[in-house]
């Protein structure tokens, strides 16, 4: 029962490098999300997806790209990494229960850009 | 636009005391109000949630109070314990839009 799995857990990037943060869920949820959490701060939505083939921007999409080719996977691509992208990144998926939306989060990826 | 405002940003409570975190929302279409708990190094996880047809929901030491007319809701932690030290997020959603809107988070520290 894996839930939401993110890889890698930690990564150090040099300025200008690119990388992909992987996220996969095994709960067959339609909605998936990427958030970033800066130290001592809240969650900021980067991108979200309502299903395979459909993505939309959140609050802070600049510098990131996403794709959703399957229900299970929602990778986040960083192009030309910048120090401002140093953060902890959380992937989440959600479903609507009888009460309302319940979100399930991965363990996070701690990214440092130097 | 911040649709869910959360306060305080940080809170220190003595063991055994009551911790209170407040949230206010703007969107009157919101009809589901969960609280998430996040321990250091972990992702947030659902703690307790309420719908606006009730004014209070209690689960163990955790209680949500909801005031529909004021568009406010709060989390009360009774008999706070060091193990409750975590970051707490309020959130809101409406049934027609699955996406959750999160508050900015409160870092709670329970001291002995």
Q: Which residues of A touch B51 (CB under 8 A)?
A: 99-100
**A·B CB contacts under 8 A:** 64
- 3-class SS letters over A34-101: EEEECCCCCEEEEEEEEECCEEEECCCCCCEEECCCCCCECCEEECCCCHHHCEEEEEEEEEECCCCE
- The predicted-structure confidence for B75-110, as pLDDT tens digits, reads as follows 999 999 999 999 999 999 987 778 889 999 999 999
> Is the distance from CB of B20 to CB of B82 less than 8 angstroms?
no
Label residue A2 exposed, middle or buried (CB < 10 Å: 0-12, 13-18, 19+): exposed
Question: How distant is the Cα of B54 from the closest Cα of chain A, in angstroms?
Answer: 12
Identify the pLDDT of residue B44: 96
Token readout for B99 is: 């996406």
Identify the pLDDT of residue A97: 82
- The predicted-structure confidence for B47-79, as pLDDT tens digits, reads as follows 999 999 999 999 999 999 999 999 999 999 999
Identify the pLDDT of residue A58: 94
Identify the pLDDT of residue B80: 98
Does A88 lie at the interface with B, CB-CB under 8 angstroms? no
- Cα separation values, A7 from A11, A25, B81, Å: 10, 12, 33
User: In chain B, what percentage of residues exceed pLDDT 90?
Assistant: 88
A42 with B104: Cβ contact below 8 A: yes
Per-residue pLDDT of chain A (114 residues; tens, 9 = 90+): 679 999 999 999 999 999 999 999 999 999 999 999 998 778 999 999 999 999 999 999 999 999 999 999 999 999 999 999 999 999 999 988 888 889 999 999 999 999
Q: Which residue in A25, A43, A60 has the most chain B C-beta atoms within 10 A of its own C-beta, making it the best mutation to test that interface?
A: A43
Q: Which residues of A touch B89 (CB under 8 A)?
A: 42-43
Does A54 lie at the interface with B, CB-CB under 8 angstroms? no
Question: How distant is the Cα of B98 from the closest Cα of chain A, in angstroms?
Answer: 6
Is pLDDT at B1 greater than 60 in this prediction?
Answer: no
Does B36 lie at the interface with A, CB-CB under 8 angstroms? yes
Question: How distant is the Cα of B104 from the closest Cα of chain A, in angstroms?
Answer: 4
Identify the pLDDT of residue A98: 80
Does B54 lie at the interface with A, CB-CB under 8 angstroms? no
Within 13 Å and on the Cβ side, how many CA atoms surround B2?
12
Is pLDDT at B2 greater than 90 in this prediction?
Answer: no
Quote the DSSP letter at residue B83: G
Question: How distant is the Cα of B112 from the closest Cα of chain A, in angstroms?
Answer: 22
Q: Which residues of B touch A43 (CB under 8 A)?
A: 44, 89, 102, 105
């Amino acid at each position: 029962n894996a839930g939401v799995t993110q890889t890698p857990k930690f990564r150090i990037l040099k300025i200008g490098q690119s990388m992909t943060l992987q996220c996969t869920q095994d709960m067959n949820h339609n909605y998936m999300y990427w958030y970033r959490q800066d130290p001592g701060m809240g969650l900021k939505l980067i991108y979200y997806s309502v299903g395979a083939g459909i993505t939309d921007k959140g609050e802070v999409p600049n510098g990131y790209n996403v794709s959703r080719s399957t229900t299970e996977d929602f990778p986040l691509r960083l192009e030309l990494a910048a120090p401002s992208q140093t953060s902890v990144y959380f992937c989440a998926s959600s479903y609507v229960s009888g009460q309302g939306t319940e979100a399930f989060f991965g363990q996070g990826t701690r990214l440092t850009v130097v | 636009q911040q649709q869910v405002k959360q306060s305080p940003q940080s809170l220190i409570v003595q063991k055994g005391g009551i911790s209170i975190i407040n949230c206010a929302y703007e969107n009157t279409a919101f009809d589901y109000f969960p609280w998430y708990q996040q321990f250091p190094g972990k992702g947030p996880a659902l703690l307790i949630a309420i719908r606006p047809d009730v004014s209070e929901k209690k689960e163990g030491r955790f209680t949500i109070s909801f005031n529909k007319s004021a568009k406010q809701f709060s989390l009360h932690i009774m008999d706070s314990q060091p193990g409750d030290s975590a970051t707490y997020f309020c959130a809101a959603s409406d049934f027609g839009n699955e996406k959750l809107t999160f508050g900015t988070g409160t870092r709670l520290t329970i001291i002995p």
